[in-house]
Chains A and B, each alone.
Chain A
Amino acid sequence: MEQVIVNGLYLGTQYALIALGLTLIFALMNVLNFAHGQMYVLGGFVTYTVYGQLGFPFAVALVCSGVTLAVLGALIEKFLFRPVIRRSVREESTMLLAAALAFFFDAAILLMFGEKQRGVPKIVNGIFLSDTIVMPYDRILIGVLAVVMIATFMLYMQYSRPGRAMRALAQDRVAAQLMGVNVDRYSMIGFALGAMLAGAVGGLLVTITGVNSGIGGPISIKAFLMVMIGGAGVVGGAIAGGFILGMMESVGLMVLSDFGDVTYLVIFVLLMIFLSIRPNGLMGKPWG
């Protein structure tokens, strides 16, 4: 059982980090970013190219993934979402734009990086072995890095000036504007930060799970799942949702292994029951 718990915790850190960027963008702009998974994939391919192909250190590649996606996110917010939000009276317009972006990224990534699964050399060799737990050192390192990134993000949101501004935006956009918060600027920073998180986690996980051009959609679906469990737009909820999903997956695959692939069936049934009881998820409303 110890192994199952460790697997669940490791999956949880991965998932929480994936969900953070999605929930941040939703909180700030009320946009369900369907292209979040594709941004993750792009981040993975940047690390693959810089670290796996060009031979630069992994840390450099990880920074490149984050910066590339941050710039891309800022441009997407400025030139695509901002005009649509400004002109459209229907919220569906941003959803359609996000879906279109997801399709566009899918096609562009397939053209740029091909159809094959890609992987990079392990960043740390060796395996931690005890009587009850087996864990490769690279997974431990990635798990620790993910926790550090989550903690840094939360501290940034809590104590930095842009973080406070973004929290104010998430709480009440109009009130924040009246109090002098530059909405356009902090929406762009928020979208860039969300995209950067997706890119960074893509870069981080390419060392463990590799990357391929077609996984963006499934990643987005899992991220939505975590956000719905925790409560859309709530950072703590996204983290909780990630860990809950990771643990449910790990335990389900162990306990239900004799019944075939019913783990996700059970998870979805539980989610339906849960949402019918708590439609706003665990933490309910946007943070601030």
Chain B
Amino acid sequence: MITTRLPLQAAALAAVASLAVSLADTSPAQAQQKELKIGFVGVTSGPAAAWGTSNVRSMQVRAEWLNEKGGVKIGDDTYKITVVTFDDQKDPRRAIAGMEKMAQEGIHYVVGPNVDDGAAAVRPVAESKGIIYFPYAFPKSLYAPPASNAILGMVANYQSAPAIYKYLKENKGVKKIAFVAANESDPLSQRDGGVVAAQALGLEIVAQNDTYANDTRDFTPVLTPVVRRRPDLLVLSGVSPGNAPLLIRAARELGYQGLISAETAQDAAVLQEGAGALANGFISVGGASTAEIRSAEMDEFIARYIKKFGEYNDESNTKVYALDYIVETLKANPKAVANVDEFKKTVDSFSAPNPYVKQGTLKYVGTASFGQKRQLSVPMVVTEFKDGKFQTLFVGEVN
């Protein structure tokens, strides 16, 4: 018995020893590369899945790309980025659970939620647990003092609408305007913002109370009374990419010949499939969406996205920015990795080159709208859909 056990024990000891030596060899290298967890809480299922999915996929593609380059150097440490995701199913209660999960995982920077009520619901959790979050929701109360932990991830409709309506009034002779919105908090608040902007420009509002349930599949009955009022511009307030082609198609098939616009980001492939040539002339807002303004790095991002997920989503032209803003701000102030107060201090003075457009700067804006810098500066590229592609109509900027 003894004679047979001894060689086995010796072999086991040798194996353990060699494992220990190999671990000892690699441990310094691993110690140098830390993990930086960035969270996402938003909608990735249900009818509005496209909004959050484009967020998650943009973050995953960018994180993978940065990790492939060896990680991100922040101060003296190099970090591998890990994206932690949570599907809130567009339900504010789940959004709160998601934000609490992020806090439990020690995450300080979270992208999302995608809608107004979710963004409002997570505010107490974010503020009490020391989380900076980047909603794609427009209520000013989230970003104006005393709130300080939310940073708007895109251009709000009350920023883009006045510019779009003014352009269309001056260049396309728009005088009468109609609004149609889904009966949910985001689209309704965007509609109200649009109405205010239109009134300020002296446009005649011929319809503003027409709404629809977000799961409507046939919009002909919804648009029949609106089209009869013969507006020059039909605004699809807060329209989701899934509903936009259906609304456009229904309006055109009812004989509407005026302009149609939206202040939310859309997807060219979805418009082309759903409405085809009927969507030509449709005006919407994107981030770095057109070939005229995007950089070689944006082209590579798109190529990587397609390689990883098979198909690009034009909404990612806006959604690509959040992760870069977080990383670049942490680079500017490494203390902010674990301390969001340091992040807040850095926001006011932060500036870095924008990698996704030929000329541009990453900086925080929003002073004009919120009284403090609580918004990512994303190019406000107003586009016109033409034969399956977005073409730049004009480029604006938010202060």
Contacts and interface: CB of A to CB of B under 8 A. Distances in A.
A155 interface: no
Given A218-B47, A259-B209, A52 B273 contact: yes
Contacts of B215: 215, 217-218
A127 to B, nearest CB: 6
B217 interface: yes
Contact of A116 (B209, B213, B269): B269
Contact of A3 (B46, B183, B224): B224
Given A134-B255, A214-B48, A218-B215, A257 B246 contact: no
B221 A254 contact: yes
Nearest to A103: B45
Contacts of A122: 276
A250 B46 CA distance: 25
B222 A253 contact: yes
A148 B198 CA distance: 48
A134 B254 contact: yes
Taking residues whose C-beta sits less than 8 angstroms from the other chain, chain B's interface range is 35 or more
Given A7-B221, A8-B221, A212-B47, 20 more contacts: A7-B220, A116-B241, A116-B267, A117-B241, A118-B270, A118-B274, A136-B253, A139-B220, A139-B253, A210-B242, A210-B245, A212-B49, A214-B47, A214-B242, A253-B221, A253-B225, A257-B210, A260-B183, A260-B210, A261-B212
Interface string A240-261: 0000000001100110011111
Kindly name the residue among A3, A139, A212 whose own CB sees the greatest number of chain B CB atoms within 10 A.
A212
Contacts, number: 115
Interface in B208-256: 209-213, 215, 217-218, 220-222, 224-226, 241-243, 245-246, 253-255
B106 to A, nearest CB: 29
A114 interface: yes
A68 interface: no
A258 B224 CA distance: 13
Nearest to B313: A116
Contacts of A209: 217-218, 246
A11 B50 CA distance: 27
B311 interface: yes
B354 interface: no
B377 interface: no
B218 A208 contact: yes
A261 B183 contact: yes
Interface of B: 44-50, 53, 183, 207, 209-213, 215, 217-218, 220-222, 224-226, 241-243, 245-246, 253-255, 267, 269-270, 273-276, 310-311, 313
Contacts of A213: 49
A283 B173 CA distance: 56
Given A116-B242, A134-B253, A214-B48, A254 B269 contact: no
A151 B175 CA distance: 49
A59 interface: no
A122 B275 CA distance: 9
A106 interface: yes
A156 interface: no
Nearest to B207: A257
Contacts of A254: 221, 224-225
A120 interface: yes
Given A117-B241, A122-B276, A257 B225 contact: yes
B301 to A, nearest CB: 19
Nearest to A11: B218
Please list the 8 inter-chain residue pairs (A to B) with the smallest Cβ-Cβ separation, ordered nearest first. Answer: A218-B215, A261-B183, A117-B242, A119-B274, A214-B47, A115-B49, A261-B211, A119-B273
Given A210-B246, A214-B46, A121 B276 contact: yes
Contacts of B242: 116-117, 210, 212, 214
